[in-house]
Chains A and B, each alone.
Chain A
Amino acid sequence: MKKPRLITPLATLLVGIAMLSISSIRAEMRTWTSADGKTLQAEFAGSIGSGSTAQVKLKLENGDLINYPISKLSEDDRIFVKGNLPTDPAALAAAIDQLVIDKIKESYYELRAELASLPQNEYLSNAEKLKRKQEIEREMEMCLPNERTTDQQFLRRIYLDLAGRIPTFDEAEIFLSERNPNKRANLIDQLLDSEAFAMRMYNYYSDLFRIREGVFMMGNGDLKVDPYIEYVKQSVRDDKPFDEMARELLTANGHIAQNPAAGYMLADSGMRLCNLSNTFTIFMGTEITCAQCHDHPFEEVYQMDFFKMASFMGETETRIRGRGDSMMMMSMGNNSRAEQERMGKILKAAGKLRENETTDRNLSGWMGTTNIVVHDDGSNAIQLPHDYKYDDGEPNMKVEPATYFGDIMDVAEFDSPRHAFAEWVVSPNNPRFTINTVNRFWKLAFGIGQIEPVYNIPGHLDGQAQNYELLTFLEEMMKDMDYSTKDFFRVIYNTQTYQREAETMSPSLAQMDKGSYHFPGPVLRRMSAEQLWDSLVALTTDNPEGVTRQGAQKYREWMQTDTTAFKTADEILAFKAKWGEIGRLTKYDGQYVSRDDNVGGEAMFRASEMRQPQAPGHFLRMFGQSDKQLIENQFKGGSSPQVMALLNGKITNSVLTSPDAYLIEEVANGRGSKGDKVDKIFLSVLTRYPSSNEKSAANSGMRARTDSGMSDKQKMAIEAKAIGNVIWALVNTREFMFIQ
């Protein structure tokens, strides 16, 4: 814990720096050649910066260190530098820690100097000086790196960040009893390869990409989204490079069942301009929505730029128009309408339709979703708005695709303008794509981005980012890793910076504004709705990832069914029933989940597997699950309905305390003493053991009044209820809800 007053923070800092020196760089004397042929004898001593301004550090024979622009080296030397930069996670993590410490130190000196000169400041009144003095002192306190997390703190946080939930009792016991000095790094590796990581990242991406059942903004149609969900999870499992994933999402053609990445474009079906704005926000951290109606008020983005960019998407349609030619449903030949009517007649004859109906309304609607297909139709629909008022164009004028920063794209070289656009987005020369990616991922780990808000990265980064050197280092690192998400997170989570205790104070708005929070540790975060829910799931079962959604394959099968083979109403109705099965959850043994699998009457399965998003009244929505209508629309603020749900609701009063709940089964059936029960409950819920004070309070809270006349079953129910008091109290703590 941080000391309340500043005592020799510099000494602590310097010790920290000494421990973090990089030792992995090969140091031997060699001949360096510049691009224009000059040579020099020196040792390689690392590099600083990135991109075109990066410099190599060279140690001369006399011991002097010089910096030399990498761009001015010969090609051989440039390859040497690249090949000799640290690549293993530990060394990269150490380099990040160094950059963090450098910045903290620099910030500390600046603040100290400002504090010293404050009395002489002529521009501030005494009251303002006092206020500024307090701010400086507060910020200086945040210049003291936090202590390293205990194993218990680390365990809980890394599970929440990588698995999306707290560790189960067994997982906690295993890690805490392990003696291996590399156990943290090993756990990071293990979690990155777990199914829980795919679920966790799916929750993140589904908020970013707005993945929802029915897909459409307006909720018309009932297009199944299962293949798209599975695509995102599989991309995480396979560690698909993030630029590759972005390219696939932006260029996907076809039906969601055949080409699941098409789900991305479908989220904004019929709204090309909104889709463009959203793509800028998601993949480039750039807000250009305002330029849809007028020139951007703060940045150099003109309305014309917006429409030139939109023109890249101008050929993209999300429907196959007309009736007879809808594709996909292979069996239907060329006429799904006729097929629907044919089946309608069979159903009618069997008395399976309502009096006035000629086709099965639902079945026809579902077959109609085969029309929903992303494709480029070759004619560009983008024109300037009817009220365009700038002098660089006329209202309703056609606009040709053109970029306003980054690469200039020749549309003719690509399959479609949209393909050209996708290449432009993910190009290494796009100044925003990689920055946006690392900034968003940094925020996921640390709670605040290097640049805030993450969806609005300013045109000029230096001075706006919390730590410009670090941000550009991360950018280069991501490029060097070929956009491997897992490798990136492996490094981030192995840093000392991440493994320090969470900051005990909130960064002030002024700090956010100035970019002067320098990460003495991650900020304290409330669990996301999904982290909270999935943690509750981890308290009710020993296998939280045991129930999954398997709809993608079933949907594909449904789509490929040869319906023309159906001759009876029963066959048609069986086919109809299969639609409902697509979304059903499946247990690890392949069986469908039933009501019997509920715990305490509630379906306790991971959020990523359940309805996307949940219904408005569900616990997940109450705690801020995104409605998936807007990018990153989740919230972490509190409310009275939340508190009432935790105090009086089902979850804390009957689900976690149900005899079927793992927590109760484990504790009630455990053979240990009563004291062990308290330890186990604490370890399960808070991932730590109780203090002696807490233990005695818990024991008094768990006192159950049983008597010898009761059956074993009665006794167990009463004991479960008594234990329930402790569980109730623990889940209601802020310690449970926040991630230290």
Chain B
Amino acid sequence: MKDQLKNLDQLSRRQFVARTAKTALGVSVIPLADGMQAVQAAGGGQAEHCIFFYMSGGMTHIDTFDPKPGTETGGQTKGIETGVAGIQVSEFMPGIAKRFKDVALVRSMTQKTGDHRGGSYWMHTSYAPRATIVHPTMGPWAQTILGKKHATLPDSVLIGGGGGGPGAGFFGPALAPLPIGDPEKGVQNSRPAQGVDDDLFDKRIDLMNTFDESFQRKFKTDEVAAYSQFYDETLNLMQSEDLDTFDLSKEPDVEKKLQSYGNGRIGKGSLLAKRLVSSGIRFVEVRGGGWDMHNNLWQAIPQRAGELDKALSALIDDLKAEGLFEKTLIVLGTEFGRTPKINANAGRDHFPRCFSTMFAGGGIQGGQVYGKSDKLGMSVEENPVTAGMFNATIAHALGMDLNKVVYAPSGRPFLVAGHTRDPQTDEIVTEYKPIMPFFS
């Protein structure tokens, strides 16, 4: 057993120390895209990009993708037809109903924890939270397994949500998704401060270089060189068209488009995500909030679900018009569902046992539902789907090798959709498999 592990690891203590020494010194190594290729097995690998809508707070399944009209748990929410026999979605998702031939739902999601942070962590990483390691999210995983997608633009971007969450985890800050707090403001601090025109900016840079000359001549360390390089790159970025990529106002017909996407945060986030993806960025997460509906759910749901429905619908249409729909995986996830039983405050509480998620585009076969909840939405009746399977499906669509072992700086092995040991070979293999019917 011990020898087995040693062989598997392919790491001597010496390499191990060198690896950890790098992180101790803060030297980050960004993998390059040479020789790495997407795996196009079994219908996967068609997606070059992913837009991941994350509904934080715990999105009610019964009032969005898994309505139970006329039952004791259905509440005031009615169902509407999707055009696929026997499948309804809630009345608050008319756009999705109309586009259902392009959409695949999972109605049998199940989760081990009912706390927001733990559930969100699990959904983003496939792993349970631990106090000894932070696991990476899917964007940094894709960059690690598939290589960097664009020469100058970042590989993953996080819109909304204040930049929290596990981010790049043990891959380190260099792979962290670029945070964009407000889709309308773009990249923070990317333009000179108010009152600083080009002349003054250049003058200040000259002053900086004069003052720093003796220090830079003396100290030739890697860390100083890295910072100087960041200054050069940032000054280039500030003048390059790349920056316009993050500027929503530069989108052609932006006002008109926002009418269909919706003018709220989720609509703007969705349009910006489309813009980023069409510029070549691989992974964009759009965070939407306001789903923690403990009180007065039916006062909130028409607007909340309505905005989401608009944002998703417009995105699907737009990607199709640009010919990007088949290359772009759209995913919608949340940490858990909400109690089928309506509480005393006309709301629903946290419900990890059963909830719904959505997939579209990027090679996903639409017009279907995977898994099934019981009559009341209380439990999973068939084909339970865990966070690991959810992420395995994303990884498969993007062509990531689910069995690729990646080592944390501490030497521990991890896989994109969780890991386990093959009882026959004793090798470390993926714990979870993708939802294959989505790729038929």
Contact = CB atoms under 8 A, between A and B. Distances in A.
Contact of A298 (B16, B162, B208): B16
Interface stretch (A256-264, A502-510, A544-552): A502-510
A175 B134 CA distance: 44
A218 B17 CA distance: 31
B172 A635 contact: yes
Given A274-B130, A617-B162, A641 B178 contact: yes
A41 interface: no
B303 interface: no
A729 B204 contact: yes
Contacts of A737: 227
Given A356-B345, A453-B24, A615-B162, A278 B224 contact: no
Interface stretch (B191-199, B316-324, B384-392): B191-199
A219 B129 CA distance: 12
B96 to A, nearest CB: 31
A524 B219 contact: yes
Nearest to B17: A513
Interface string A715-740: 00000010001101110111101101
A290 interface: yes
Contacts of B72: none
B131 A267 contact: yes
Contact of B164 (A294, A616, A645, A729): A616
B431 interface: no
Interface in A503-541: 503-506, 509, 512-513, 523-526
Interface string A273-304: 01101100100000101100011011000000
Query: How big is the A interface, by class?
Result: 35 or more
Contacts, number: 238
A433 B224 CA distance: 34
Contacts of B300: none
A617 B21 CA distance: 28
B21 A512 contact: yes
Interface string B42-66: 0000000000000000000000000
A300 B237 CA distance: 50
Contacts of A630: 131-134
A621 B164 CA distance: 11
A729 B193 contact: no
A643 B231 contact: yes
A217 B134 CA distance: 12
B226 A738 contact: no
Given A218-B129, A617-B181, A639-B174, A452 B24 contact: yes
Given A297-B9, A512-B25, A524-B224, A389 B131 contact: no
Given A218-B117, A220-B115, A738-B224, A733 B189 contact: no
B134 A629 contact: yes
A355 B345 CA distance: 8
A277 to B, nearest CB: 5
Given A617-B163, A653-B193, A458 B13 contact: yes
B22 A509 contact: yes
Given A294-B5, A458-B13, A640-B230, A509 B189 contact: no
Contact of A733 (B134, B188, B212): B212
A637 B117 contact: no
B190 interface: yes
A8 interface: no
Given A289-B412, A297-B2, A617-B162, A504 B178 contact: no
Interface string B120-155: 000000000111111000000000000000000000
A734 B192 contact: no
Contacts of A271: 130-131
Interface string B222-234: 1110111011011
Which of A210, A219, A647 has the largest count of B CB atoms less than 10 A from its CB?
A: A647
Contacts of A395: none
B352 interface: no
A151 to B, nearest CB: 18
A275 B227 CA distance: 36
B36 interface: no
B21 A453 contact: yes
B214 interface: yes
A378 interface: no
Contact of B412 (A220, A290, A295, A734): A290
Contacts of A650: 193
A726 B193 CA distance: 15
B221 A506 contact: yes
Interface residues of B, number: 85
A698 interface: yes
A328 to B, nearest CB: 23
A506 B22 CA distance: 12
A354 B295 contact: yes
A544 to B, nearest CB: 23
A616 B218 contact: no
Interface in B167-198: 172-174, 178-179, 181, 187-196
A448 B196 CA distance: 40
Contact of A636 (B115, B190, B218, B223): B223
A602 interface: no
A648 B173 contact: no
Contacts of B41: none
A79 interface: no
Nearest to A219: B117
A334 interface: no
A691 to B, nearest CB: 7
Nearest to B409: A453
A390 B17 contact: no
B177 to A, nearest CB: 11
A650 B2 CA distance: 54
A320 B24 CA distance: 39
A453 B231 CA distance: 29
B189 A513 contact: no
A349 B191 CA distance: 54
A101 interface: no
B424 interface: no
Greatest chain A CB density within 10 A among B21, B163, B196, B222 is at: B21
B211 A733 contact: yes
B203 interface: yes
Contacts of B295: 354, 356
Interface in A607-660: 615-617, 621, 624, 629-630, 633, 635-645, 647-650, 653-654
Nearest to A654: B193
Instruction: Kindly name the residue among B1, B200, B215 whose own CB sees the greatest number of chain A CB atoms within 10 A.
Output: B215
B221 A638 contact: no
Nearest to B6: A297
A653 B129 CA distance: 40
B227 A701 contact: no
B37 interface: no
B83 interface: no
A616 B131 contact: no
Contacts of B28: 637
B250 interface: no
A638 B173 CA distance: 9
B85 interface: no
A724 to B, nearest CB: 9
A377 interface: no
A454 B26 CA distance: 14
Contacts of B194: 653
B207 A637 contact: no
Contact of A734 (B162, B224, B233): B224
A694 interface: yes
B218 A504 contact: yes
Q: What are the 6 closest A-B residue pairs judged by CB atoms, nearest first?
A: A729-B207, A653-B193, A356-B345, A735-B215, A274-B131, A733-B212
6 contacts: A218-B118, A294-B5, A617-B163, A641-B189, A644-B238, A735-B212
Given A274-B130, A356-B346, A524-B221, 19 more contacts: A218-B117, A218-B118, A220-B115, A220-B117, A289-B132, A289-B412, A357-B345, A389-B1, A453-B23, A617-B179, A621-B163, A642-B230, A643-B227, A645-B188, A698-B207, A725-B204, A729-B208, A733-B211, A734-B215
